[in-house]
Amino acid sequence: MHILLDLFLTCAKIGVMTFGGGMAMLPILQREVVEKKGWATEDELSDYYAIGQCTPGIIAVNTATFIGQKQKGVIGGIAATLGMVFPSLIIITLLAGLITSFSHLTWIQNAFAGIRVCVCVLIFNTVLKLAKKAIVDRKTVAIFLIIVIASCLTDLSPVVFVLFAAVCGIVIKGLEAKKA
């Protein structure tokens, strides 16, 4: 029972401290789940991000579900998911009426502009951390560059990019295994 409460409270802490949506939660998830709790490795968290991006819903909520499921099965996944969404549900309910009443104020608009910049930096830092672990040789650099270029030039779904990268990984590792 203690681990379920810990999953809920940790995810609630992440959920209450994050502005900017699911991607903005990734640096906090990384710190809490990998560094502090040891519930996942960097590689596992990267996998959860990738799968979370391909499944319906918010990436951070999906990632929390995977982490909870790994720790305590289905009930752990439920506890982590509820913990992640509970703060947002409460805050949004309380603020829904207030935002429409005060959103025209210049200082509110300026505050949100500043928060958006901060969220970009947090996401960028997470991308750099993930890139250091994922882009490790010429083959992964090639996959990375192909996907960056394709994502900039097309409107393809992220699912297509993840599937492409998965197929590339399977083919490359298969060819390496045959050479060995």
pLDDT in tens, 97-132: 777 788 888 988 898 899 889 888 888 888 888 888
Same domain, 30 and 102: yes
Same domain, 67 and 106: yes
Q: Please give the backbone phi and psi of residue 38, each rounded to the nearest 5 degrees, phi first.
A: 70, 25
Question: What is the mean predicted confidence (pLDDT) over 145-157?
Answer: 95
Distance (Å, whole) CA 51 – CA 159: 9
Same domain, 49 and 69: yes
pLDDT at 51: 87
**Count of domains in the chain?**
2
Same domain, 90 and 175: no
What are the DSSP calls for 96-165, one per residue?
HHHHHHHTTSHHHHHHHHHHHHHHHHHHHHHHHHHHHHH--SHHHHHHHHHHHHHHHH----HHHHHHHH
Same domain, 120 and 147: no
pLDDT band of residue 19 (cuts 50, 70, 90) is low
Same domain, 82 and 105: yes
User: How many Å separate Cα 47 from the centre of its chain?
Assistant: 10
Residues 6+ apart with CB under 8 A from 103: 109
Same domain, 129 and 147: no
pLDDT in tens, 21-35: 666 777 888 899 999
Same domain, 42 and 129: yes
Same domain, 37 and 83: yes
Which of 12-26, 98-112, 139-153 shows the highest mean pLDDT? 139-153
Same domain, 127 and 145: no
Same domain, 55 and 125: yes
CA dihedral 54, 32, 85, 67 (to 10 degrees): 50
Q: Which two tokens stand for residue 105?
A: 């104020």
Angle between helices 158-179 and 138-153 (to 10 degrees): 160
Same domain, 115 and 154: no
pLDDT in tens, 65-97: 999 999 999 999 999 999 999 988 888 888 777
Q: Which two tokens stand for residue 60?
A: 């951070």
Look up the domain containing 98 and give its range: 2-134
Question: What is the mean predicted confidence (pLDDT) over 41-59?
Answer: 84
Query: What is the pTM (predicted TM-score) of this model?
Result: 0.61
Q: What is the mean pLDDT of the chain?
A: 88
